[in-house]
Structure 1
Amino acid sequence: MASRALVVGGTSGIGYAMACHIAATSPSTSVVISGRTRPDNMPHANIEFQPIEATSMRQIKSFTDRFKQLTDEKYKLNLLIMTQGIMTMVGRTETPEGIDRKMALHYYGKQLLIRELMPALKEDAKVVIVYDSWSGNMNKLNWNDLDLKTHFSLSTAANHCQVMNDIMIQYYAAQQQAATARRHFIHAWPGGVNTEGLMREMPWVLGATAKLLAPLITVTPAKCAEYLLNGINKVTPASAGDKQGRLFWSCIDNRGRVLENKPVCTEEQMGKIADHTWKLIDAALKA
């Protein structure tokens, strides 16, 4: 059976490094990388490029519709990785669909990709969100303003995306309990990575400082990719066990190690986040 991987955000940085690592270590795997622009260097014959604008829910939906049309039963995805993101000091900046651009990249777009591509996933596929499984604090969630229309700050937006991604991998995993599928949902923290493209919207002073410090406090994208993929490959329902309800979800750190202290969400918490997420996304799709 053919092996296939899709890496969204795979045109640069961590995503590109992960795509290249998969292509190099598994030449029989077909790797699709998606982002705004085709990379100048496509170093492996088993890599192909498909464009996507990952800040737009409507364009993501168009992408997933096309992708599913070209995916038959024998060519489904073994691996879906989403690394799209940006580092910026700009405040709330809404897309034409009314979603903060950072939150669209770091959370909402990722969830839409998972929902729409579920039929294109193999029954034992792994779904990976690369963002921050380490720092989120559920106690700081503003449950009355989850998309931060009126309570926005950079730190609050980051925390909301961190925690809501944590909760949603548990939401998907809970759905698997009553199904025959054994897909595993993973939220990964890359740690400090010397990624040039991520800093492109930072003020030049901060960007210049970051470049000077980067070799001292970060790893290369290639090394990060190696750590994360090693961890992703090791995580299975059997290895996670059913302790604390973790049969089909895991959070991993920047060395690929499972974070054992992640809180397990209640059905009510998962339901509230899922309801909010689909309501906002579906409104954007209809706008």
Structure 2
Amino acid sequence: MPSQAEIEASNALINDATAPRVSVFAGATSGVGQLTVRALVATGASVRIYLVGRRSAAARAAALIAELEAANPRAEIVWTEAEISLLAEVRRVCELISSKEPRVDLLFLSAGYAPFGRRTETAEGLEVCQSLEYYSRLLFVLRLLPALRAAEAPRVISVLGGGFETANGIDVDDIDLQRPGNFSAVKAQSQYVNLNSAALDKVAADNPHVTFIHASPGWVNTGNVHRGDVDPNSLWAWFVYLFLNPLIRLLAMSDEVSGQRQLFNCTSAKFGGKGVPWTGKPGINTLQKESGGLFIVSHRCETWPKETVMPVVREKAQPKVWARAQEVLGPYL
């Protein structure tokens, strides 16, 4: 795996020729997405970044944009307001971006939070965490594919739980976990991680010109565990306060390290395609081919081809996963 020094040395080579000139970041007003935007802007390259976020984050986004554009006057950051848990909003914002940009070099998807609270559905009838972590991400990919295909070295990054896939990790008989008693935090998060890889593996196989990465963020202190509809007096709330928060503070990598690692994922030729030249060991995708497969990437920027897992997923789960995705997303495509 690349060392942190090698990652930072690679990122130091990012310039106008190798930086993603047009990027879309969905979920970057906080957390790993924001850290990656900061790292990209800090390269000094000329970039245009569409920062997609909800209305409640607008003030925070305005302060962030002013700070980043002052630090790098060659960076243009376009605030794009949307409630992306709603698929209709994802469609709208993708249409808006596509009308302005003939090409998109980077699509970075990190919106969402762990479903530790009660099951809550959006106005469109989807569990809110599943919509943020899976359906809306896949819709962003499918709607922006024409612009991605038009780019010279396009890349899609979904930051969720790459590497934690299992051969039987998808409940194919209840993909949306709607049956009574079938929804729990642990099962839901595992389901959404596996759905990401199953769907992106198929899209990657159909679009070998585009590099697809499902990345794990590792331990990062983003405040994610405090989001969602959680009873403050519940056992989970006390578990977070007494155990999980101290553990995260103990194990979490620094914000700078997190941003540098995700920037490496966004730009390094280690993951195929054109990018910042990489002379180390090349990454291996799920098809174990030069192109056309999904790169499953650990928090240390190493690839896990999951050679015993993904063939099973591809055979037993992917057809049902894709059929359900087309059913849900069809009205918005």
Same fold, judged at TM 0.5 (above): yes
**Counterpart Cα distance in 2 of 1:242 and 1:207:** 35
Match of 2:327, as an amino acid? Answer: K
Q: How big is the shift at 1:254?
A: 0.5
Say yes or no: does 1:97 pair with 2:103: no
5+ residue gaps in structure 1?
A: none
Correspondent of 1:17 among 35, 39, 42: 35
Paired position in structure 2 for 1:156: 187
Quick check: 1:274 aligned with 2:316?
no
Distance 2:141 2:272 in 1: 19
Aligned to 2:3: none
CA distance in 2, matches of 1:12, 1:97: 25
Aligned residues of 1:13 and 1:198 also touching (Cα < 8 A): no
**Comparing 185-194 with 227-236, which one deviates more in the overlay?**
227-236
Q: One-letter code of the match for 1:55?
A: S
| 2:247 paired with 1:236 | no
Aligned residues: 278
Distance 1:250 1:222, change over 3 A: same
CA distance in structure 1 between the partners assigned to 2:285 and 2:217 by the alignment: 25
Counterpart selection for 1:208 from 228, 234, 241:
241
Structure number with greater CO (CA < 8 Å, separation at least 6) is 2
Report the equivalent of 2:52: 34
Matched ranges for 1:51-90 at <5 A: 51-72=81-102, 76-90=103-117
Distance 1:243 1:259, change over 3 A: closer
* Native 8 Å contact 2:286 2:295 kept in 1: no
Q: Which residues of structure 2 form unaligned runs of 5+? A: 1-16, 70-74, 275-281
SS at match of 1:146: coil
Give the 3 Å change call, closer, same or farther, for CA 267–240 of structure 1 in structure 2.
farther
| TM-score normalised according to structure 1 size | 0.87
- Separation in structure 1 between the aligned mates of residue 121 and residue 227 of structure 2, nearest angstrom: 19
Confirm or deny: 8 A CA contact 1:16 1:33 kept in the other structure.
no
Q: CA RMSD in A?
A: 2.4
Normalising to structure 2: TM-score of the pair?
0.76
Shifted more, 155-164 versus 193-202: the winner is 193-202
Name the counterpart of 1:219: 253
8 Å CA contact 2:28, 2:51 repeated in 1 = yes
Tell me if the contact between 1:85 and 1:198 (Cα under 8 Å) persists in the aligned partners.
Answer: no
8-17 or 272-281, larger mean C-alpha shift = 272-281
Residues 240, 218 of structure 1: CA spacing in aligned structure 2 closer, same or farther, 3 A cutoff?
Answer: closer
Aligned counterparts, 1:70-149, within 5 A: 70-72=100-102, 76-121=103-148, 122-149=151-178
* Cα distance, 1:241 vs structure 2: 6.0
Map residues 248-267 of structure 1 onto 2, 5 A cutoff: 248=292, 249-262=294-307, 263-265=309-311, 266=314
For residues 122 and 140 of structure 2, the distance between their equivalents in structure 1, rounded to whole angstroms, comes to 18
Cα distance in structure 2, aligned partners of 1:261 and 1:241? 10
Structure 1 residue runs of 4+, over 6 Å off? none
Q: Which of 191, 212, 216 is the aligned partner of 1:189?
A: 216
CA distance in 2, matches of 1:111, 1:244: 20
Find the counterpart in structure 1 of residue 277 from structure 2.
Answer: none
Deviation at 1:240, TM superposition (A): 4.1
Instruction: Classify the secondary structure of the residue corresponding to 2:49.
Output: strand
CA change 1:244–1:87 in 2 (3 A) is closer
Cα deviation, residue 279, structure 1: 0.4
The one-character-per-residue Cα deviations of 1:177-218 (angstroms, maximum 9, x if unpaired) are 5xxxx1111000001111135523454534434443332111
Counterpart CA distance in 2 for 1:243 and 1:56 is: 30
**What is the rounded CA distance, in whole Å, between the counterparts of 1:269 and 1:173 in structure 2?**
16
Q: CA deviation at 1:237?
A: 4.8
Q: 1:67-104: per-residue Cα shift (whole Å, max 9, x none)? A: 111113xxx21111000011342132111111100100
